[in-house]
Structure 1
Amino acid sequence: MLSKRVKYALAHLSHHQHIARLARPNLRRVQKGDRNILTSAFVVPRAALKCRPSKRIKIMSQPRNVNKKFDPTKAATGYPRIHPKTLNAQTSKRTVDLALPKRSIVVATKTFATGNKTMTIIIKDLLSRIHNSRYQKYRMLCNALARQRAAREAKQRKKLHMALSKPEDWTRHKEVLKRLAEPKPIPTPRVHTRGKWRKFDPTRVEFLSMPVTKDSPESRDPFKVPPSALTYVITKRIKEIAFKKNPPEYIPPKIPGAVSPAAVKAVASPRTIILAKPAVRPAGVETDLKEDAFSVPRQALKARCPPRIRRLARPKTYGKS
């Protein structure tokens, strides 16, 4: 897409004038000053005056040590503060279950409380709670798993004893155990040998400590034509764009009642044919006809025309008439 400058040049300038303007040197690119030299070194930029300090800058701008005066009203009390949620806390089921004693201890104390009714009631209550607690069930499950594991190990031990029935098997088994019982050899750590240290070069350090200077580019000759412009070959597209277009001076207006040739040659689709048919209604009901053709409904009288409908209600203009 052509820019506005090119369009203006094509409309108001000739081909020779346009090429002459493009051949002028751009003074902004030719005249460049030194970047390291400031015109006004003590002027604060406008952006620095208008900027708002961030939270981090406000924190960093405060002094390190601030001596605050002692205020007895704001001093802390001698006792630690207890949170209200801690005071209003309720024990959970897990805490209650963990607080229960072991079943073996309760059973042992049951023998000493044979004559005391209160103690027997308390012990029975504790035993029922221990029995119904989930940790007791978990303990029973763990004990059952331990018994299964012990039975499995005993079975494997029995199989091993049957497999090592001969004295030759026992000797081989002892050799394997002896080999497995030997400690693993500790690997020797690898020693990384570094190369020789490079000698200290003070000239290199001085060169690295020097500040970086920005050199201004060399000034160009504004009247020198580059060799690429001399050997340039114009393309066909640029030849076409270089000349002004001749638009038609007169556009004939459209006839309102005329049918376009595309509409005459168009073939209706099946969906269009279905939509073009009138709606099928029961006999005796004529909903399309109004008794009073000039009556206006109340909603139409109260309606307000939005700006979008006003814009759409304007007639279209086709070119110059």
Structure 2
Amino acid sequence: MHKVSRSSKCCPTFDHLPENMNCFLPDISNSWQRLLERHKHMFTRRKRLLKIAQHNRPIRGRFIPKCPCKYKKPIEFVRETPTRTRTEQLALPAVRKLLLFKEDVKELFEPLRTFTINRLIRLSLLSVYSRLSNIQPPQKKVPVHKWDDAEWKKHIKYLKRLAKPKKEPKQPKLPVNKMKLESMSRFKELALPKTYEESMKEPWALTPAMKNYEPTENIKKMAQPIIHDDSALIQSFPIPINPTALTYKATKRIKEIATPREKGVGESDLKENPFSISPNALKARTTARIKELAEPKEYENAHIRENPFAISPAALKAKASPRIIELAKPKGSS
């Protein structure tokens, strides 16, 4: 941080740009003139556009540039600290080295210098590379407490108690609320075997009501036999032909379907003697392949062997394994 004094006389007031632009460098002036010429040719002047482009607000007066510094009090300019870059974070000392250095100089340095070391430790711990590598500050080693004889005896006694098998508690018998057998009359009745009553049909007998019964008209009508008309089943011979069938004229399609199917004439039908042999067939000579195919094929009967008790040479040379010898022993033999 640094302070710079500012007052009302420090800010210079700039004049307006001159109308003659030739005071600038020649190349900038030339490019400016070219832009102006190009703008004049491209822009179409219209009254409506010019009217819209005019400033509607009233101009109060000529603008006079003034110094922004209204107060005589000096202004303090604070420099913004930049964010730490990769190089700065890598340049920070290691956390463990700083902690060891702090332990060594804790009694030699002043508190202000110790505060600076703490700030460096905090920056190193919070850096990106420390977080990625999960660096933790070293912890103080806790000395291991050694047991004496009394503690060892107590521990052995506890281990012996844990080594014993767990005794399961006896489960108490729950009272069963059931009825006595003597008072269970309904259960005794259900326990008896089921008996089935056979319904015997009474013999038929002519009752007095049946003797004096008079049938109704509907019963009399239903009692009469059904008379069938046999005229449809009996036909006179010859059967009469319908008069329409006698005067019917067959169409071209019916005549085509009524004609029998034509079959091609075979070679045997063209010959005078179909059982005669041609001279070429009498002069022909059979080849070796035809003779081989003409012979009947012999099939080997694999079910019946000439010597069923013959042993193959491979079986004579074979050596039985311990497992086969074990399986060959009769069952129950040691």
Same fold (TM over 0.5): no
Structure 1 or 2: more helix by fraction: 1
Q: TM-score, normalised by structure 2?
A: 0.17
Task: Report which of the two structures shows the higher radius of gyration computed on alpha carbons.
Answer: 2
Higher RCO, 1 vs 2 (CA within 8 Å, ≥6 residues apart): 1
TM-score (norm 1): 0.17
